[in-house]
């Protein structure tokens, strides 16, 4: 043992004092390992980052005086209303505030409640408002900027957020009262489907990084082996040389840890505020979980030594030269099939994990805990890992089998194929990272797209008729009227129908078996109502019973509530709240509905403003306008939002097309995309390094080929094939494996595969890697092909 | 080359007539210079006198002296001793070429030219030998190679000298 | 120097790598079917002369005429085409492509000129037979001896039936027996196809396979034969 340590130490000394070449190799390894380490540290920081984000969101969440969290018996001291808006592709968060007493609570990041007519903005929003791009946003936020929201009040540096002061805000206009900020709110259980997704992501992203680090440790190993042979000549035994090599790798890995830490810290500073893939963070929030960081610091050097020792097992270093273990026997298939086979069986037997409630805020740790006591998740994780690992073991066999059968073709093809036949193992090793990454990504994409529907709430409405709805959660007949008027004058709006709608029920008691009848009550002026039903004459004070145009059953259902001359209950039907009765005048005429701009028929009870006191309507009623918009008018959406903001800051504008993406899901999806790209980049980098190394070793040969009059294009194509063949095989295997894995995972959660072609963009990314690597190695190839290569004697 | 020892060696495989001996010698070793009959007989009579060969028999008729010679025990020992004894390496210390080069340098003639001319001459001979080697059998090849290696050694010396002419010039002139 | 009847002529070549001149007014000429040795100590510029003559390197100044055409006036593509079709090359360490089999290596120049694989390999095997290495066809260069490899390289240089073969220390890595055999096969094969051979060597015994020699020293050439005849 002491000997081994001594040898390791010797290797470290060689790595650090081995002249220029030794240094170059050590640095190359260090940079490679460093990239991997930076990614690992990034991954290790995700739990903290998610926590910090969640904390930031919760910290500015107001809680009401009566809420469970209000342990201090705080009184309402602040009225607020959410006034989020969208501007082009960005979401702008905002609240309108009004102090309810002399000493109101402050949201985080504010030094005082903005006075009426003024607002506090985030730095990013300030920049947007100051820039020409913000021109259409300014009328919507017509407040004077008097304050900047501090970092404590923002989720990410680039967040667009504001707090506006108001003198008129009241509970009647939809405001809520807050006793304080920092509502933990309801603990949102992490959806079991997401748990599976997160497990997959961890497996998929971390495996290629591990593979990359293992590859980086082997950078420049051929030259090192020759140096080791020289050591054998002066009397070192084979084991000693292996451990010396291990020491060299260790030195590179430890240096890599340092490089990785620097890259990580620098990366956090640079990337945090950039808001890549709509996800930004405060650099200070990106701190690895100490335990995981420690794991990285220990595992990476250990991996380096183990990989080196293992790699050298197949290399015989003799005093007079290096012999690579010529693999004469063919690779066997059966045991390579065993790993993915077991994985498939495990996944096949797995049940949908009944995951208990876990707060999103502690997501990955929460998952770790669940993993410990949830058998289903363990089998899924194991199964998925086995399938993906199985791909790595299958790949060398596949490459050998396929490449061994390739024949003929053009010269460049022949050169590439022969090269691959001679070293199919190396080729397979290089692309194994890409295979796992792509297979995992394919499975993840399939999985996430299939569960997409659950998280994306698409309003299934014909978007050619109406593109926008504007609404607020309280009934206000005047507002409805003003909306109609204002929006008709807004550029781009072709049609606008404003109305108040709520639900009414018959006041009679219902038996347990019977279902309580319910009808929609729509309040609007005559013009509006005429748009929605075939009404020939109308004056204010009129009421109508509206039947659907061709559904007698539904019409009968409406009639159970809408009985002219009889009262209806306008309060919430089921809540047991005291009834508020309103009598439908006996004069109410029955008419048929006509499609609204959304293409939908509205039916039930239609009333004009004079016929009812709006305050009778329940709090569930809403005021809304449906707009038909000419999409060709530039920035129509912004004009509409501006009009809405002018009418009331609380009006929410929805595009019918708008996809309301669940935040949890979106976060995971975003992380997946970013990480997949990073992984592919890493793999491309390691492929490039080995490609360049190979070219440098063949400098003389390349020069000789040039002497024969070999065209550059021929060699360039050969380099391309040499990358393309293994990558294509890897991608093929990855797609097959990924589709299988994805289908199995979906089977577990009882979904069907919705789209088999999801791998296409990933294949595109793979192709991009091929071309990038080939293209980037061309300058080196050109340089090697200069006749000077012959001259170095 | 010792003709006596060579002829003795040829006799070791069996008794031979003087004429056979000459033919065997010429065939194996006398490519450039065949033996005269006289040389054979004078050598054989010296060997007889020293007791290294004996007359095995005389054939009647035919030529004047149809003696058949056989090697004696003493002869075998003598051949054995000769073959085992290493040849004294030629020191080549008296080189005409060297003298020419130095003289050229001393008299202000172009010494490099002397060397180049000599190289061309050497190569000319080497070409002839190489050509002969190509046409000849194995013994031809070995003999030519021997000469070629010697010529090559000379040429190496020429190269070395050429590379050191400047140094040599300063040395001989002081 | 009279270029009359010469296949490849170089006049007053100058070439410098950085500050050190490799060629400093070198001259050269060769007739069809002639074997000319380029001799000289290492660093004398003989390899540079060969590279210039073969159009691999362009000289800084001077003229190279191949078959009446000015080499330095050609584009890189034209010179590459010339090397593919008219020239053959043998290098010191063979420089066989390690992943290709021997026969594929020999076929390489043919395939560069667009000959179909089957045909190229058939013709390659003929040449390998002439160089007594036909049995090595399916072996990789790593599996044959240095002498065999060099013979494969000679076969490769001759397979396109070039008019000039450039051999740069073709026996440099071989023992004298293998070296001589390679030289013998190379010169015989070249003579039989009337190919000229430019033979760069520092070994006199290798140079003895030539018809005449020129000596390069300090970037200047000297044609002894020519001087004698004059």
The interface pTM score, or ipTM, of the predicted complex is: 0.79
Please say if the pLDDT value at position C16 is more than 90: no
Gap from A793 CA to chain C (nearest CA, Å)? 10
User: What is residue A365's predicted lDDT score, i.e. its pLDDT?
Assistant: 44
CB contact B149 to C (< 8 Å) = yes
Which chain B residues have a beta carbon less than 8 Å from that of C226? none
| Mean pLDDT across B111-127 | 85
Residues B100 and B77 in one domain: no
Nearest-CB residue to C83 (from A419, A701, A708)? A708
A259: its two tokens: 């490089």
User: What is residue A196's predicted lDDT score, i.e. its pLDDT?
Assistant: 64
Please say if the pLDDT value at position A678 is more than 80: no
Which domains, and CATH codes, for chain C?
A: 1-86+198-230 (3.40.50.300)
Strands A118-121 and A85-87: unpaired
Interface test with A, best of C56, C119, C163 (most A CBs within 10 A): C56
| Mean pLDDT across A35-62 | 79
User: What is residue C36's predicted lDDT score, i.e. its pLDDT?
Assistant: 92
| Mean pLDDT across C135-162 | 87
B89: in domain: no
B20: its two tokens: 């056979």
Q: Which residues contact A707 (CB under 8 A, 6 or more apart)?
A: A787, A790, C54, C56, C83, C89, C91, C166
| Mean pLDDT across A589-616 | 83
| Mean pLDDT across C42-48 | 82
- Where do the domains of chain A lie? 2-53+189-456+663-791, 63-181, 468-658
Contact yes or no for C95 and A701 at CB 8 A: yes
User: What is residue A82's predicted lDDT score, i.e. its pLDDT?
Assistant: 82
Q: Which residues contact A668 (CB under 8 A, 6 or more apart)?
A: A194, A197, A198, A201, A448
**Final residue before a domain boundary, out of B84, B106, B133:** B84
Residues B66 and B8 in one domain: yes
Average pLDDT, chain A: 77
| Chains interfacing with C (3 or more CB pairs < 8 Å) | A, B
For B113, the domain range is 96-173
User: What is residue A455's predicted lDDT score, i.e. its pLDDT?
Assistant: 52
Gap from B32 CA to chain C (nearest CA, Å)? 21
C199 pLDDT tier (thresholds 50, 70, 90)? very high
Residues B54 and B107 in one domain: no
User: What is residue A183's predicted lDDT score, i.e. its pLDDT?
Assistant: 64
User: What is residue C78's predicted lDDT score, i.e. its pLDDT?
Assistant: 84
3-state secondary structure of A594: coil
Least confident of A399-413, A673-687, C24-38, C100-114: A673-687
CB contact B163 to C (< 8 Å) = yes
B91: in domain: no
The highest-confidence range among A202-216, A495-509, A592-606, C146-160, by mean pLDDT, is: C146-160
Please say if the pLDDT value at position B63 is more than 70: no
3-state secondary structure of C37: strand
Q: In what order do the strands lie in the sheet with B16-17?
A: B16-17, B67-71, B53-58
More confident residue, C32 or A191: C32
| Mean pLDDT across C53-82 | 85
C2: its two tokens: 């009279």
B-chain residue closest to C181, CA distance: B134
Contact yes or no for A414 and C48 at CB 8 A: no
CB contact B162 to C (< 8 Å) = yes
CB contact C95 to A (< 8 Å) = yes
Gap from C223 CA to chain B (nearest CA, Å)? 9
User: What is residue A264's predicted lDDT score, i.e. its pLDDT?
Assistant: 87
Interface subset of C 175-214, CB within 8 angstroms of B: 184, 202-205, 207-211, 213
Please say if the pLDDT value at position A181 is more than 60: yes
**Final residue before a domain boundary, out of B31, B64, B84:** B84
H-helix segments, A582-662: 636-647
A256: its two tokens: 């890599």
**Final residue before a domain boundary, out of B55, B84, B113:** B84
Contact yes or no for C104 and A418 at CB 8 A: yes
User: What is residue A320's predicted lDDT score, i.e. its pLDDT?
Assistant: 63
Contact yes or no for A704 and C56 at CB 8 A: no
- What DSSP string runs through B61-90? SSSS--EEEEE-HHHHHHHHHHHHSPPPPP
Please say if the pLDDT value at position A277 is more than 60: no
Cα–Cα distance between C218 and C48 in angstroms, integer?
A: 12
Gap from C32 CA to chain B (nearest CA, Å)? 19
**Per-residue model confidence as pLDDT tens digits over A446-464:** 777 776 655 554 444 444 4
Contact yes or no for A711 and C54 at CB 8 A: no
**Per-residue model confidence as pLDDT tens digits over B16-52:** 888 888 888 888 777 667 788 888 888 888 888 988 8
Residues B29 and B73 in one domain: yes
Gap from C209 CA to chain B (nearest CA, Å)? 6
User: What is residue B66's predicted lDDT score, i.e. its pLDDT?
Assistant: 73
User: What is residue A673's predicted lDDT score, i.e. its pLDDT?
Assistant: 65
Per the CB < 8 A criterion, the answer to whether A224 and A232 are in contact is: no
A-chain residue closest to C22, CA distance: A791
Give the CA distances from residue A770 to residues A268, A394, A562, B134, B161, in Å, rounded to whole numbers and listed in that order.
Answer: 29, 21, 69, 55, 58
Interface test with A, best of C100, C157, C169 (most A CBs within 10 A): C100
Contact yes or no for C89 and A418 at CB 8 A: no
Is the sign of the CA dihedral B144, B146, B149, B155 positive or negative?
A: negative
Per the CB < 8 A criterion, the answer to whether A44 and A283 are in contact is: no
Contact yes or no for A705 and C97 at CB 8 A: yes
A368 pLDDT tier (thresholds 50, 70, 90)? very low
Region of residue A541 (phi > 0: left; psi between -120 and 50: alpha; otherwise: beta): left
CB contact C217 to B (< 8 Å) = yes
Cα–Cα distance between A428 and C72 in angstroms, integer?
A: 45
Q: Is there an interface between A and B (3+ Cβ pairs < 8 A)?
A: no
A583: its two tokens: 């009598």
| Chains interfacing with B (3 or more CB pairs < 8 Å) | C
pTM: 0.62
Average pLDDT, chain C: 84
Task: Write down how long chain A is.
Answer: 793
B102: in domain: yes
**Per-residue model confidence as pLDDT tens digits over A732-784:** 888 888 888 888 878 877 777 767 776 777 778 777 887 888 888 888 888 77
How much of chain C, in percent, has pLDDT values that exceed 90?
A: 6
B103: in domain: yes
A-chain residue closest to C112, CA distance: A710
Please say if the pLDDT value at position C229 is more than 70: no
Q: How many domains does chain B have?
A: 2
Interface test with A, best of C15, C48, C111, C154 (most A CBs within 10 A): C111
A681: its two tokens: 């980049």
Task: Write down how long chain B is.
Answer: 174
User: What is residue A275's predicted lDDT score, i.e. its pLDDT?
Assistant: 55
Interface test with C, best of A700, A708, A715, A718 (most C CBs within 10 A): A708
Residues B139 and B100 in one domain: yes
A-chain residue closest to C95, CA distance: A701
B68: in domain: yes
Per the CB < 8 A criterion, the answer to whether A157 and A272 are in contact is: yes
Give the CA distances from residue A705 to residues A55, A710, A722, B166, C145, in Å, rounded to whole numbers and listed in that order.
Answer: 64, 6, 17, 41, 21
B137: its two tokens: 């059998």
Give the CA distances from residue C126 to residues B69, C87, C195, in Å, rounded to whole numbers and listed in that order.
Answer: 55, 19, 17
User: What is residue A362's predicted lDDT score, i.e. its pLDDT?
Assistant: 38
* A contact set with C (CB within 8 A): 408, 411, 414-415, 418-419, 421-423, 700-701, 704-711, 714, 787-788, 790-791, 793
More confident residue, A475 or B93: A475
User: What is residue A793's predicted lDDT score, i.e. its pLDDT?
Assistant: 41
| Mean pLDDT across A417-434 | 79
Contact yes or no for C84 and A414 at CB 8 A: no
| Mean pLDDT across B148-165 | 85
Contact yes or no for B129 and C208 at CB 8 A: yes
Contact yes or no for C56 and A418 at CB 8 A: no
H-helix segments, C14-145: 46-53, 76-85, 102-112, 117-130
Residues B10 and B78 in one domain: yes
Which chain A residues have a beta carbon less than 8 Å from that of C97? 415, 418, 701, 705
User: What is residue A659's predicted lDDT score, i.e. its pLDDT?
Assistant: 46
| Chains interfacing with A (3 or more CB pairs < 8 Å) | C
Q: Which residues contact A565 (CB under 8 A, 6 or more apart)?
A: A583, A584, A585, A586
Nearest-CB residue to B151 (from C202, C204, C209)? C204
* Pick from A486, A485, A501: nearest CA to A612: A501
Please say if the pLDDT value at position C198 is more than 90: yes
C104 pLDDT tier (thresholds 50, 70, 90)? confident
Please say if the pLDDT value at position C197 is more than 90: yes
| Eight-state DSSP code of residue A171 | G
**Phi and psi at residue A593, in whole multiples of 5°?**
-80, 160
Per the CB < 8 A criterion, the answer to whether A123 and A79 are in contact is: no
Please say if the pLDDT value at position A607 is more than 70: yes
Q: Quickly tell me which residue has 């620097």 as its tokens.
A: A262
CB burial string A167-180: b at 16+ within 10 A, e below: eebeeebbbbbbbb
Residues B67 and B115 in one domain: no
Contact yes or no for C108 and A411 at CB 8 A: yes
């Amino acid at each position: 043992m002491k000997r081994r340590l001594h040898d390791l130490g010797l290797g470290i000394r060689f790595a650090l004092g081995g002249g220029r070449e030794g240094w170059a190799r050590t640095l190359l390894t260090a940079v490679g390992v460093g990239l991997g380490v930076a990614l690992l540290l990034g991954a290790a920081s995700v739990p903290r980052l998610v926590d910090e984000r969640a904390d930031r969101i919760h910290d500015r969440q107001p809680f009401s005086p009566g809420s469970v969290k209000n342990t201090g018996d705080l009184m309402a001291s602040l009225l607020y209303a959410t006034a989020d808006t969208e501007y082009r592709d960005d979401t702008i968060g905002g609240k309108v505030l009004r102090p309810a007493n002399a000493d109101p609570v402050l949201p985080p990041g504010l030094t005082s409640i903005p006075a009426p007519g003024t607002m506090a903005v985030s730095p990013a929003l300030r920049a947007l408002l100051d820039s020409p791009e913000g021109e259409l946003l300014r009328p919507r936020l017509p407040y004077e900027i008097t304050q900047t929201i501090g970092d404590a009040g923002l989720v990410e540096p680039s967040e667009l957020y504001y707090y506006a002061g108001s003198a008129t805000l009241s509970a009647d206009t939809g405001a809520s009262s807050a006793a304080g900020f920092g509502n933990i709110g309801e603990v949102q259980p992490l959806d079991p489907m997401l748990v599976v997704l997160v497990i997959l992501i961890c497996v998929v992203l971390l495996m290629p990084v591990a593979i990359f680090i293992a590859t980086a440790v082997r950078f420049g190993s051929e030259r090192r082996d020759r140096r080791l042979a020289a050591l054998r000549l002066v009397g070192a035994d084979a084991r000693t040389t292996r451990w010396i090599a291990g020491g060299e790798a260790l030195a590179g890995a430890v240096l890599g840890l340092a490089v990785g830490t620097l890259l990580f810290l620098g990366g956090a500073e640079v990337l945090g505020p950039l808001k890549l893939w709509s996800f930004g963070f405060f650099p200070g929030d990106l701190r690895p979980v100490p335990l995981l960081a420690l794991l990285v610091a220990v595992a990476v050097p250990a991996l380096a030594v183990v990989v080196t020792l293992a790699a050298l097992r197949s290399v015989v270093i003799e005093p007079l030269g290096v012999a690579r273990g010529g693999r004469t026997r063919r690779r066997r298939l059966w045991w390579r099939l065993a790993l993915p086979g077991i994985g498939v069986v495990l996944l096949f037997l797995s049940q949908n994990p009944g995951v208990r409630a876990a707060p999103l805020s502690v997501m990955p740790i929460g998952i770790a805990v669940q993993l410990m006591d949830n058998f289903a998740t363990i089998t899924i994780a194991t199964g998925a890992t086995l399938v993906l690992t199985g791909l790595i073991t299958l790949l060398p066999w596949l490459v050998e089998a396929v490449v061994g059968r390739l024949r003929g073709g053009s010269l460049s093809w022949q050169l590439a194929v022969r090269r691959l036949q001679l070293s199919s193992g190396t080729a397979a090793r290089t692309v194994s990272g890409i295979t796992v990454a792509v297979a995992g990504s394919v499975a993840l994409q399939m999985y996430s797209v299939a569960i997409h529907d659950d998280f994306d709430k698409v309003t299934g409405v014909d978007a050619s008729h109406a593109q926008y709805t504007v609404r607020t959660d309280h009934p206000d007949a005047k507002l409805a009227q003003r909306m109609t008027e204002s929006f008709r004058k807004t550029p781009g709006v072709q049609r606008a129908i404003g109305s108040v709608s709520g639900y009414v029920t018959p006041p009679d008691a219902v038996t347990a078996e019977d279902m309580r009848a319910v009808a929609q009550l729509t309040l609007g002026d005559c013009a509006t109502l005429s748009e929605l039903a075939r009404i020939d004459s109308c004056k204010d004070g009129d009421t109508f019973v509206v039947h659907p145009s061709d559904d007698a059953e539904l019409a009968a259902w409406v009639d159970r509530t809408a009985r002219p001359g009889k009262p209806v209950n306008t309060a919430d039907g089921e809540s047991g709240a005291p009834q508020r009765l309103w009598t439908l005048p006996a004069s109410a005429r029955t008419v048929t509905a006509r499609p609204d701009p959304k293409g939908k028929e509205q039916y039930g009870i239609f009333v004009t403003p004079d016929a009812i006191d709006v305050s009778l309507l329940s709090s569930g009623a809403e005021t809304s306008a449906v707009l038909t918009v000419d999409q060709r008018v530039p920035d129509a959406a912004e004009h509409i939002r501006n009009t809405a903001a002018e009418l009331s800051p609380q009006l929410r504008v929805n595009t019918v097309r708008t996809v309301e993406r669940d935040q949890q899901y979106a976060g995971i999806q975003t992380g997946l995309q970013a990480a997949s790209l990073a992984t592919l980049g890493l793999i491309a980098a390691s492929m490039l390094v080995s490609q360049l190394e190979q070219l440098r070793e063949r400098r003389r040969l390349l020069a000789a080929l040039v002497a024969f009059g070999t065209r550059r294009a021929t060699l360039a194509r050969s380099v391309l094939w040499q990358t393309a063949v293994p990558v294509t095989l890897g991608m093929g295997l990855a797609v097959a494996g990924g589709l299988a894995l994805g289908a199995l995972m979906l089977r577990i959660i009882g979904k069907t595969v919705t789209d088999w072609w999801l791998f296409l963009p990933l294949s595109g990314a793979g192709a991009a890697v091929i071309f990038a690597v080939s293209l980037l190695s061309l300058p080196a190839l050109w340089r090697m092909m200069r006749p000077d290569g012959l001259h170095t004697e | 080359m010792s003709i006596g020892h060579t002829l003795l060696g040829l006799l070791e495989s069996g008794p031979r007539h003087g004429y056979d001996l000459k033919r065997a010698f010429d065939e194996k070793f006398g490519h450039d210079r065949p033996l005269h009959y006289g040389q054979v007989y004078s050598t054989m009579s010296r060997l007889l006198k020293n007791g290294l060969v004996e007359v095995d028999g005389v054939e009647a008729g035919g030529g004047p002296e149809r003696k058949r010679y056989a090697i004696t025990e003493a002869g075998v020992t003598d051949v054995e001793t000769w073959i085992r004894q290493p040849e004294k390496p030629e020191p080549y210390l008296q080189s005409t070429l060297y003298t020419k080069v130095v003289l050229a340098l001393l008299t202000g003639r172009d010494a490099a030219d002397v060397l180049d001319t000599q190289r061309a001459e050497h190569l000319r001979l080497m070409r002839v030998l190489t050509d002969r080697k190509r046409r000849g059998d194995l013994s031809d090849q070995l003999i030519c190679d021997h000469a070629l290696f010697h010529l090559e050694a000379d040429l190496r010396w020429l190269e070395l000298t050429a590379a050191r002419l400047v140094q040599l010039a300063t040395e001989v002139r002081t | 120097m009279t270029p009359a009847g010469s296949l490849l002529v170089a006049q007053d070549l100058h070439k410098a790598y950085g500050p050190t001149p490799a060629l400093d007014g070198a001259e050269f000429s060769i007739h069809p079917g002639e074997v000319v040795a380029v001799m000289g100590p290492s660093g004398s510029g003989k390899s540079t002369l060969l590279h210039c003559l073969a159009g691999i390197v362009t000289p800084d100044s001077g003229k190279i005429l191949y078959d009446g055409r000015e080499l330095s006036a050609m584009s890189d593509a034209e010179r590459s085409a010339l090397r593919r079709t008219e020239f053959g090359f043998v290098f010191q360490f063979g420089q066989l492509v390690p992943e290709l089999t021997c026969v594929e290596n020999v076929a390489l120049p043919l395939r560069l000129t667009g000959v179909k694989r089957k045909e190229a390999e058939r013709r390659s095997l003929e040449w390998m037979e002439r160089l007594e290495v036909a049995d090595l066809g399916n072996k990789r260069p790593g599996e044959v001896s240095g002498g065999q490899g060099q013979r494969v390289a000679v076969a490769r240089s001759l397979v396109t039936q070039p008019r000039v073969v450039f051999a740069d220390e073709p026996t440099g890595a071989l023992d004298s027996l293998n070296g001589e055999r390679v030289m013998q096969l190379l010169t015989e094969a070249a003579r039989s196809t009337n190919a000229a051979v430019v033979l760069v060597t520092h070994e006199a015994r290798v140079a003895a396979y030539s018809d005449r020699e020129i000596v390069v020293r300090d970037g200047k050439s000297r044609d002894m034969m020519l001087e004698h005849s004059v």
